[in-house]
Amino acid sequence: MPSNRWFVLAILFIARLVLGLQFQSAGSVAPFLIRDFNISYAQIGMLVGLFMLPGLVVSIPSGFLGRRFGDKNVVLFGLLLMAVGGLVSGVAATYGMVLAGRVLSGIGGVFLFVLMTKMLTDWFADKELYLGMAIFIIGWPIGIAAAQAAQAHLAELLSWRFVFISSAVSVLIAFCLMALFYRAPPDHGQTHSPATTSLSRPEFGLVCIAGLIWMFLNGAYLVMLSFGPAQLVERGMSITGAGFVVSVMSWVFMFALPAGGYLATRYQVPNLMMVGGLGTSAVSGVLIHFVPAPILTFALFGTAVALATPVIGSLPAEVLEARNRGPGFGVYWLWYFGGLPVLTALGGLLKDFTGTATASVIFAAVMMLTCLLLLAVFRYVQSRWAVRTPAVAQG
C-alpha cells in the first residue's frame, strides 16, 4: 500500500473537493427547487446553512470520536452520511426530505472538516506542512467552483435530482479511495482509548485564538465575495461586470494559495507571510472604494489572503500535542462553524443600516486587521506560556 505523504494528500484533496461539490449542490439547483416545491429563497438559504449548522454540535465530539475509534473510521462514516444525505435529497418528494438530506450531509461534512485537517497535519507536521495545507485547503474552493460551473447545466439538461445523486456518487468514490488507500503515518502513536489526556490550558487557549483568526479570515473573504459586487454596482458598474471583477479575486486566490504554501516552506518565513498577507489584504480592502481600477485591487486582496492562508491554517499544529490534535481541531473548527454565519449576517446588516455595500467591504478589511491583532496575541501568549513549537514545514 502506498505510504507517500503526497499520495495521501491526493486522497484527502479529493475528499475535500467532493465536500465542496456537495455543499454547493443546493445553491446550484435553487431555481428548480423553488419551482417544484413552491418554496422561498429564505428556505433555500436554510438548505445551504444547514450544511454548516451541525458543526456547532458535532465539531468538538468529532475530535474525540476520531481519537476513540480512529480518524479514518470516523471520516469513512462521515462520507457515508454525506452519500446517504445526497441520495435522500435526490429522491425527495417534499422540501422536508431535502432538508433532512442536507442535515445528514452536513453532519458527515463536519467529520471531514475536523478530522481530515488533523490527518493532513499528522502526515505533514514534520515536513512541508504549509505546502501540504495549501494544496489540501484548495480542494474546497475548487469543488465549489466546479459545482457552480456544471451543476446548474446538469439540472437543466437532466434534473435537479441528478445533481444531488451525482454528488452522492462522487462522495462514494472518495469513500472507496479513503477505505482502500488511506492509513495513518508510520510513526503515528495515537491511541484509541478514551482515557488519553485532554487539552492543556495553553493548548486550549492558543487553539481558540487560532480558531478566531481562521473564523475572521474566512468571514472577511466571504463578506468581500458577497458584497463586493454590490459595491461596484453602486459605483456604476453593470451587474455582469461587477460579478466578473469580483470573480478575479477567487481565481487568483486559488492560484496563489499553493504559492503561499511553497514560499513559507521554501524560505521559512511563516510570520512574514501571515503579517504581509493580512496587512496587505486589510489595506487593499479599504482601497477598493477609492481606486479607479478595482479589478487590480480585488486581485491584490485575493492574492494577499491566499499567501497568508496556509500558514494560518497550520497554527494549531504549532501548539497541539499529537495525541490532542483531534479534540484540538474540534475546538478550532467550532469557531468557524459558529462565527461564520454571524459575520456574514453582520455584513448584510451593515449594508442595510448604512444603505451602501461600502460599509460591508470596509467591514471585511477590519476583519483582516482583527486577524493581524489576534496573530500578535497568539504569538505573545505562545511565547509567554513557552509552548513548544514543533518543527513544521521544513523543506
192 pLDDT band, cuts 50/70/90, is very low
Residue 166 lies in a domain: yes
- State which residues form the domain around 206: 201-384
Residue 193 lies in a domain: no
* Residues 169 and 290 placed together within one structural domain of the fold: no
From 150, 181, 212, the end of a domain falls on 181
Residue 226 lies in a domain: yes
Distance CA 132, CA 185 (A): 15
* Residues 290 and 249 placed together within one structural domain of the fold: yes
- Contact partners, residue 299, CB within 8 Å, separation at least 6: 248, 249, 252
Query: Which pLDDT value is given to residue 394?
Result: 46
Query: Which pLDDT value is given to residue 228?
Result: 83
More confident residue, 230 or 15: 15
Residue 380 lies in a domain: yes
pLDDT digits (tens, 9 = 90+) for 313-333: 999 998 888 888 989 999 999
Query: Which pLDDT value is given to residue 197?
Result: 59
Under DSSP, the state recorded for 12 is H
Q: Give the Å distances, CA to CA, from 83 to 76, 95, 155.
A: 11, 18, 19
* Residues 23 and 168 placed together within one structural domain of the fold: yes
Distance CA 120, CA 7 (A): 11
* Residues 260 and 371 placed together within one structural domain of the fold: yes
> What mean pLDDT is predicted for residues 195-224?
87
Residue 34 lies in a domain: yes
pLDDT digits (tens, 9 = 90+) for 80-93: 999 999 999 999 88
* Residues 325 and 357 placed together within one structural domain of the fold: yes
pLDDT digits (tens, 9 = 90+) for 242-259: 888 888 888 899 899 999
pLDDT digits (tens, 9 = 90+) for 168-185: 999 999 999 999 999 888
pLDDT digits (tens, 9 = 90+) for 49-68: 788 888 889 999 998 998 88
Judging by beta carbons within 10 Å of its beta carbon (0-12, 13-18, 19+), is residue 26 exposed, middle or buried? Answer: buried
* Residues 126 and 48 placed together within one structural domain of the fold: yes
Residue 307 lies in a domain: yes
* Residues 294 and 372 placed together within one structural domain of the fold: yes
Number of domains, the chain: 2
Distance CA 208, CA 228 (A): 29
What one-letter code names the amino acid at 274?
A: M
Mean pLDDT in the chain? Answer: 87
Distance CA 208, CA 210 (A): 5
For residues 371 and 313, the answer to whether their CB atoms sit within 8 Å is no
Query: Which pLDDT value is given to residue 195?
Result: 46
Q: Give the Å distances, CA to CA, from 107 to 110, 208, 212, 355, 385.
A: 5, 22, 22, 37, 35
* Residues 305 and 375 placed together within one structural domain of the fold: yes
Distance CA 310, CA 316 (A): 12
Residue 175 lies in a domain: yes
* Residues 27 and 87 placed together within one structural domain of the fold: yes
Query: Which pLDDT value is given to residue 191?
Result: 45
From 181, 209, 225, the end of a domain falls on 181
More confident residue, 178 or 1: 178
- Looking at the predicted structure, is the pLDDT value of residue 336 above 80? yes
Residue 115 lies in a domain: yes
The number of beta carbons lying within 10 Å of the beta carbon of residue 241 is: 14
Residue 127, domain CATH: 1.20.1250.20
Query: Which pLDDT value is given to residue 392?
Result: 52
* Residues 32 and 168 placed together within one structural domain of the fold: yes
Judging by beta carbons within 10 Å of its beta carbon (0-12, 13-18, 19+), is residue 159 exposed, middle or buried? Answer: middle
3-state SS string over 240-301? HHHHHHHHHHHHHHHHHHHHHHHHHHHHCCHHHHHHHHHHHHHHHHHHCCCCCCHHHHHHHH
* Residues 354 and 275 placed together within one structural domain of the fold: yes
> What mean pLDDT is predicted for residues 6-15?
95
* Residues 158 and 124 placed together within one structural domain of the fold: yes
